[in-house]
Amino acid sequence: MLAIAFPAIDPIAISVGPFAIRWYSLAYVTGILLGWRYMLRLVARGDSGIGRDHIDDFIVWATLGVILGGRLGYVLFYRPDFYFANPMEIPALWKGGMSFHGGALGVIVAISIYVRRHGLSWLAFADLVAAATPIGLFFGRIANFINGELFGRAADVPWAMAFPGGGPQPRHPSQIYEAGLEGLALFIVLAVLAWRCGALERRGLLTGSFLLGYGVARIFGEFFREPDSFLGFLYAGATMGQLLSLPLAAVGLWLVIRAQRRP
């Protein structure tokens, strides 16, 4: 079968002597910085008691939540047997292995601790974080594509690609699908809710919409993505990503309904 040649992009964006900066790291940094700026703009619209200084302070908390939660989530959800047998490999972030669902839990814990210390509304703060999160998801998926990882299942569509680690078979560029759904499309939906529909006045609506939207987008995207080789298909042919997204979507739907019923 014919396939589009995978663009051979060096995963290392900048290299100076022994020091190297990877596109994946730049994606994290870019997502956090742009998310921070976007949250500042949203704060200026609302009257929730959250100030610009709170957003500035929280960036460090969010970064720790994403990195620690994402890594621990990958260890516990995806490869517990391997990492429990090789605990010294857990801190080896440079070898890859991050979980969005773990990172989300890490950020939720960070929000909970931060708002408790500063006497802020949990849902109001979570709404700001949720509205900005698709920015990081977009850049993260683009970085996955550059790395040639998390590629899709075998396909015969005209835009199928032969990925370096996926054998000779043309495959779905599922990273691009996910960047468009979890990143761009979800960001636009949340932006319309925030800027046009007054979602900031209904606490929990943006958080619920994000969780529901991400859960649905991830479940759909997983139908085109090749399952992890060390896990394969699980219950009823579902992937780990789909199973972890189901409770996320359920909680999101509950928050949306709850927010709509509030005055």
- Number of DSSP helices (H) and strands (E) in the chain, helices first: 9, 4
* pLDDT band per the 50, 70, 90 thresholds, residue 38: very high
Residue 150 lies in a domain: yes
CA angle 64, 93, 27 (to 5 degrees): 65
Residue 11 lies in a domain: no
* pLDDT band per the 50, 70, 90 thresholds, residue 22: confident
Q: Which tokens in the block code for residue 5?
A: 């040649």
Q: How do residues 142-200 score in pLDDT, each as one tens digit?
A: 999 999 999 999 999 999 999 988 888 999 999 999 999 999 999 999 999 999 999 99
Q: What is the pTM of this model?
A: 0.93
Residue 3 lies in a domain: no
Number of domains in the chain: 1
Element of type H or E holding 144: helix 122-147
| Structural domain that includes position 53 | 17-261
Residue 163 lies in a domain: yes
| Residue 127 near residue 199 (C-beta atoms within 8 A) | yes
Residue 96 lies in a domain: yes
The pLDDT value given to residue 246: 96
Residue 111 lies in a domain: yes
Partners of 19 in beta bridges: 16
Q: How do residues 208-238 score in pLDDT, each as one tens digit?
A: 999 999 999 999 999 999 998 888 899 889 9
Q: How do residues 49-73 score in pLDDT, each as one tens digit?
A: 899 999 999 999 999 999 999 999 9
Residue 4 lies in a domain: no
Residue 253 lies in a domain: yes
Check whether 32 has a pLDDT greater than 90.
yes
